[in-house]
Amino acid sequence: MDFSIKACEWTKGTTNGFLTGKSDCIVLGVFESQTLNGAALEIDTATKGLITRIVKAGDMQGKSGTTLFLPEVSGIGASRVLLVGLGKQDGFGQKAYGDAVRAAWRAILGTKIAQVTFTLSQLPVQERGGEWAVKAAILALRAETYQFTQMKGKPEPVKRNLKRIVFSVDAADEKLAKAAAKEGAALANGMDLARDLGNLPGNVCTPTYLADTAKKLGKEWNLKTEILGVKQLEALKMGSMLSVTRGSAQPPQFIVMQYQGAGAKTAPIVLVGKGITFDSGGISLKPGEGMDEMKYDMCGAASVFGTLRAVAELGLKLNVVGIVPACENMPSSTATKPGDIVTSMSGQTIEILNTDAEGRLVLCDALTYAERFKPAAVVDVATLTGACVIALGHHMSGLFSKDDALAGELLDAAREAADPAWRMPLDEEYQEQLKSNFADVANIGGRPGGSVTAACFLSRFTSAYPWAHLDIAGTAWKSGAAKGSTGRPVPLLTQFLIDRAAQ
C-alpha cells in the first residue's frame, strides 16, 4: 500500500485540491449531536447540504463505530463518501479515534475501493497531534489486513483492493506526519514479522528455524548475525540454558543480531527475547488443555526480530543488539528433573524446583552474555509468567526495573505507542522467596507474587548495566475465536529506540 500526506486547512477554505481530487472514496467523521465542522462541513457545502440532510434524516447519528456509504456523490472529485460515527466530541481521545479508524477500514476493505482520501487524521484527538493520528491509522489498517494463511493446504488468495491512501493533515503537522507515515509502515512490517513467527506451529518454528530467520534478516537488512550451537554454549558454561534443552531432540540456537546505526564506540541497547519455541513444561508437565498455545512461548524472541527489522528499515542512528536464546522445553529420559542443580554462565548455582519455570533459566545466561557488549541498557522481553496475566490481564505488559530513568523511558514509549505497560514492584523483600537450602538461588519462589519473584530472579544477573524486564505473557497473543499473535510489544520497543535515537 502507498501512503501519502497532504496538507489541508479545511476551516480556512484552502482545501488543496481535496474537493476536486479524484479518488474512489473520501472518509469523513461525524460527531454525535454536533454540528458539522472541518472536512465534513466543507464536503457538505460542496454537495449542497447532502450530509446535513443525511444527519437530519437519522441515517447517520454519529454513534461511535457506525458507518454509512454515500454512493455517486456529485460536487466533489471522490465518487463515494464514507461517513464514520465518532461518538461524543467532548472527551474524544485515542480509544475513540481508534474505534472510528477501525470501523472505517473494515467498511472500506469490504468493497473494491482502491484509492482513499482519509480526513479522520485531522480530528481533534485529545493530547495527540496529526502525526500520531496518521501513524495510528496505518497500524490499524495493517492490523485489519494481516492474515496468516501459509499453513493452509489451499489458502484463499489475499484480496487487497486498497492500494493508495492520502491522509489529510494540518499544514503545521505535514512534516511530522510524513515521518510518522514512514514509522508506521516500518513498525507494521516489524509487527507482521513478529506475528508470523508467533503464529507458526512448533514443528515448523523450531530453534533452527529462528536461527535461519535471523540469517535471512541479517542479509536483507545488513545485520551482523552470529549463531552459537551446543558446543559453543558448553564452552561458555551456559549450564542454565543447556538444562532446559536436554529433553528435546531439537538443538538449541543462541542467536545474536547486531544493528549498527551509530559509531562503533557508541554503547548499544541490548534486547533479549525469550525463544522457547514450544514449552511442554518439561518433567513438570503442563495440563493438556491449551498446551497448543505454548507455541507462543517464543513471542519475546519474535518481538526482538520484529523490532530489529523496524529499526533497520527506519535507519535509526543508534546501535542495537538482539539476543535470542532459542530452544524447546520437552520431557524425556534425558530431561532436567525437579531438584536438579545447575551452574549458570555467571557462576551462580540454581536449584530447579519446577522445570516449567524455564524461561528465566535461558534468559539468565543470555543476560550474562549481554555484558560483553558493555550496553547502555538491556531490556529483556518474555512470555514469562501466568502470574502476570492474573495481575494485569491481557491489556498491559508488566514492566520491572530498579532503574527509574529506564523505567520512565519505557513507560513513556508505551504511552506514545499505545502499547501499554504497568510498572510492577521489584523490592528486595521478594528475594527471600528464592532462597535455596542447596544452591545459590531457587528458580521459583512459590505462588505469591509469582511474576515479581521471576523478575527478582533475573535481576540477580543484571548488576553490570541498567536493566528492565517486560513480562508479555498476557499481551503477546490472543486466545479463543481471535486466536493469534498480537505483535506486541514491538510498538513499545520500537518507540523506545526511536526516542533513544533522538537524544
- Selection from 300, 288, 286 nearest residue 329 by Cα: 286
Q: Rounded to whole angstroms, how far apart are CA atoms 84 and 75?
A: 20
Angle at 384 between CA 383 and CA 387, to 5 degrees: 110
Q: For position 35, what pLDDT does the model report? A: 86
DSSP 307-371: HHHHHHHHT-SSEEEEEEEEEEE--STTS--TT-EEE-TTS-EEE-S-TT--HHHHHHHHHHHGG
Our measurement of the distance from residue 304's CA atom to the centroid of its chain's CA atoms, rounded to an integer in Å, reads: 10
Q: Is 72 helix (H, G, I), strand (E, B) or coil?
A: coil
How does DSSP classify residue 156? P
The crossing angle, in degrees rounded to 10, of helices 130-145 and 94-109 is 40
Contact 278, 358 (CB under 8 A): no
DSSP 264-297: TTSPPEEEEE-EEEEE--TTSPPPSTTGGGGGGG
Cis peptide before 251 (omega within 30 of 0): no
How does DSSP classify residue 171? G
What's the whole-model pTM score?
0.96
Give me the sign of the Cα torsion angle 106, 111, 114, 120.
Answer: negative
Q: For position 16, what pLDDT does the model report? A: 66
Per-residue pLDDT of the chain (503 residues; tens, 9 = 90+): 899 999 988 776 666 677 878 899 999 999 998 889 889 999 999 999 999 999 999 999 999 999 999 998 888 989 999 999 999 999 899 999 999 999 999 999 999 999 999 999 999 999 999 999 999 999 999 999 999 998 998 877 766 789 999 999 999 999 999 999 999 999 999 999 999 999 999 999 999 999 999 999 999 999 999 999 999 999 999 999 999 999 999 999 999 999 999 999 999 999 999 999 999 999 999 999 999 999 999 999 999 999 999 999 999 999 999 999 999 999 999 999 999 999 999 999 999 999 999 999 999 999 999 999 999 999 999 999 999 999 999 999 999 999 999 999 999 999 999 999 999 999 999 999 999 999 999 999 999 999 999 999 999 999 999 999 999 999 999 999 999 999 999 999 999 999 999 99
Contact 266, 318 (CB under 8 A): yes
Q: For position 14, what pLDDT does the model report? A: 61
Q: Rounded to whole angstroms, how far apart are CA atoms 305 and 194?
A: 7
Cell of 306: 520484529
Q: For position 103, what pLDDT does the model report? A: 98
Catalytic hit among 135, 360, 460, 488: 360
Q: Rounded to whole angstroms, how far apart are CA atoms 169 and 23?
A: 17
Q: Rounded to whole angstroms, how far apart are CA atoms 109 and 160?
A: 8
Q: Is 224 a catalytic residue?
A: no
Backbone angles phi, psi at 70, to 5 degrees: -115, 105
First and final CA of the chain: distance in angstroms?
A: 31
Q: Rounded to whole angstroms, how far apart are CA atoms 121 and 133?
A: 5
Cell of 429: 523483600
Distances from the Cα of 432 to the Cαs of 182, 442, 446, 448, in angstroms?
Answer: 48, 10, 11, 12
DSSP 25-40: EEEEEE-TT----HHH
Domains of the chain: 2-173 (3.40.220.10), 190-501 (3.40.630.10)
Angle at 268 between CA 266 and CA 269, to 5 degrees: 145
Cell of 338: 525437579
Catalytic hit among 237, 286, 415, 478: 286
Q: What share of the chain is helix, strand, coil (3-state, %, to 5)?
A: 40, 20, 40
Give me the sign of the Cα torsion angle 496, 209, 476, 276.
Answer: negative
Q: Is 360 a catalytic residue?
A: yes
Q: For position 468, what pLDDT does the model report? A: 98
